[in-house]
Amino acid sequence: MGSSASIPSSPITRANGEQNSREKKHVEENIREHPDADAFVKEPAPSAPQWISHALKNLDNYAALTSRPKGTAPVQYDSPYSRSRSSTAPGSPRIPPLRQNSGSHTPRTRQHPATLNIPGLTRSKVSPDGRIPDRDVAAKLVIIMVGLPARGKSYITKKLQRYLSWQQHSTKIFNVGNRRRIAAGVANPGDGSPTSATNQDDVPTRAATILRGAHGPDIVVEDELTKLDLDGPASYEKIDQSAKFFDPANEAASKIREQVALDTLDELLDYLLHHGGAVGILDATNSTIHRRKLLVDHVKEREPSLGILFIESICDDETLLEANMRLKLSGPDYKDKDPHKSLEDFKERVKAYESAYEPLGKYEEEHEWQYIQMIDVGRKIVNYRLGGFLSGGISSYLTTFNLSPRQIWITRHGQSVDNQVHKLGGNSGLTERGHLYGESLYRFITYKRKQWLVEQKTKAAMANFPPKPGDYTPPYPELNQELDDKNFCVWTSMLKRSVETAEYFEADDDYDVKAWEMLNELNAGTFEGMTYDEIAAQYPEEYHKRSDDKLQYIYPGVGGEGYLQVISRLRDMVREIERITDHVLIIGHRSVCRVLMAYFMDLTRDDIADLDVPLGVLYAIEPKPYGIEFHAYKYNEEVGWFDELPDYKPRKTVDRNS
């Protein structure tokens, strides 16, 4: 009975004679080659039943000799186990693992698992930084947008790109419309790129970037245009882009639009497969089953393992649809054209698409294609067969969308006692100057809150069509709903300096104040309470490690964090900011404000940890149907008020102690 029992084998208990002979020979060879071989136990060869314990004893000695240079102290690990009382039981041998193939001699042929990758929270051999590794193609995602014109597809794609990039998943938008306009000869190659969310001639898209003053932002084209490869001489001949071009019965135009879509998709696939991309978003109508099948087949032909997610934007709200159509009149297809005729033509274009439009549904479900239907900007979400962590996270994020007019304010706390002496972290209270900042902040926000309400009502009363010069904002669907009753939330961290800055808001019942632990300052671990100069003097190696890569760096010691950890804990905070329809003021800390500002300003990963967010600066963000409107104010201590910075631009920190 005993001989037939099945016992799990291990390197220690294995009794096979041939295996043991190989292990014994390997050990003896390593012992003879080691310079300190005399330290090993030299005894006559033991009998067969005793040789395993003898070899294990030598393995212990060998591991001890090879684990550190001669004469040095053992390595100490900062772990509660390393500080616990030593066991009296015999120690287990350290037998290094050998690379193997899980009991099979056949090389791996299956794809790698599409498991969760979170920069800062996951780490593996192929992905030390936690991002999706290039080999894990199945974890990458092609997002194919679906929907009629003026249904908010571009609005959705821009927000998705901003959110996923902020989460450190390399994401790009590939806009078929941009390439189509160039191919049709109604735009120049230098005007923009299919991979760019910005376009020099697209006013609403331009407004979607940060507004830095009355004259608008500086426009940066993100990528050079990839050369188009369309057959025939018509590539750059001017083609009529009226509603007739989008008529399904127009076979010549249909071929052009189909070829443009495939070329744009190829650029997207190159980005995912060869340039380190994690998510590529194809922004187009893709309104028929034929077109969607064509795209899926093209993706599978290039790389069968890639994930594909369809996102359909449906709009049944007539007011919202009218607002979206008005917004299109400022777009590149209708630049410098009569707005009345443009609106009429655009509605004809929509009818052309509607005549052949096939929404997501039965066909996709029969073929097990995962999809998300988003109805009326998130009022209703339908999911089907979502697979992978990216798809699930995207669905959760889409449920937070709303177009309610509101303001989002972000600032650091007032000056604290530790700020005076440049100490990191801690939990000190405010100085007298800090309390005065809190009082001025309360008075200024109260004033701006009333001013905003007057401005919104004035805009509603003066809404014109066509829009007046310089007015690119269509009316909000909810503009006349409950503006007088809009709440104002004030969110602080749980640290004294943040809570005390909000003391004047706390005393006013018209503000709802709440403290959040996730808004606490980045934990400096062992370096809490130290200055940068002290860290540089006492821990020069750690100081230089952080200077070389602030985004990836994690402070040593219990509780130590880095910027990637702050991004992860603020993920739910960002979703809540997007979800609520009320005003909100966030009184945070430098790292927290940097991370939040990076989300709204769509900063690259290289800029997050160095963004200048000094004490005494207040940021205002107002969501719009085309993006955000942005303002910055600087505290004027002499008058106890805030002055607007009309030419504010993000910059790197000048004074690390500010």
Question: Looking at the annotation, which residues are catalytic?
Answer: 283, 315, 521, 589
What is the CA 149 to chain-centroid distance, rounded?
A: 27
Q: Encode 96-162 in three state secondary structure.
A: CCCCCCCCCCCCCCCCCCCCCCCECCECCCCCCCCCCCCCCHHHCEEEEEECCCCCCHHHHHHHHHH
| CB neighbour list of residue 24: distance below 8 Å, 6 or more residues apart | 51, 55
For the chain, the farthest-separated pair of C-alpha atoms sits apart, in whole angstroms, at 103
Residue 296: Cβ within 10 Å count: 17
* Residue in 387, 388, 303, 309 with CA at minimum distance from that of residue 115: 388
Distance in angstroms (rounded) separating the CA atoms of residues 183 and 189: 9
Would you tell me how many other CB atoms lie within 10 Å of the CB of residue 298? 14
The answer to whether the beta carbons of residues 223 and 196 sit under 8 Å apart is yes
Sequential DSSP letters for 611-645: B---TTEEEEEEEETTEEEEEEEEEETTTTEEEE-
Task: Classify 436 as helix, strand or coil.
Answer: helix
Q: Report CA Rg, the chain.
A: 31
Q: Which residue has the tokens 């029969």?
A: 366
Q: What is the identity of the amino acid at 321?
A: L
Among the listed residues 213, 212, 176, 216, the one whose alpha carbon sits nearest the alpha carbon of residue 200: 216
Tokens 């104040």: give the residue.
513
Burial (CB count within 10 angstroms: exposed 0-12, middle 13-18, buried 19+), residue 114: buried
- Residue 354 main-chain phi, psi, to 5 deg: -60, -30
> Phi-psi category of 277—alpha, beta or left, where left has phi over 0 and alpha has psi -120 to 50?
beta
Q: How far apart are CA 183 and CA 173, in angstroms?
A: 18
Q: What are the residues whose beta carbons fall under 8 Å from the beta carbon of 362, sequence distance 6 or more?
A: none
Going 242 to 247 to 251 to 256, the CA torsion angle's sign is: positive
Question: Distance (Å, rounded) from C-alpha 313 to C-alpha 156?
Answer: 8
Sole residue written with tokens 């245009």: 225
Question: Do 386 and 565 form a contact (C-beta atoms < 8 A)?
Answer: no
Token pair recorded at residue 95: 């037998």
- Please state, in angstroms and rounded to a whole number, the distance separating the CA atoms of residues 260 and 179: 7
CA–CA distances in Å: residue 141 to residues 115, 197, 303, 307: 13, 18, 11, 5
Interatomic CA distance for residues 554 and 576, integer angstroms: 26
Tell me which residue of 571, 591, 593, 579 sits closest to 623, measured CA to CA: 579
Confirm if 222 and 200 have CB atoms less than 8 A apart. no
The full length of the chain comes to 658
Nearest to 197 by CA among 620, 602, 649, 622: 602
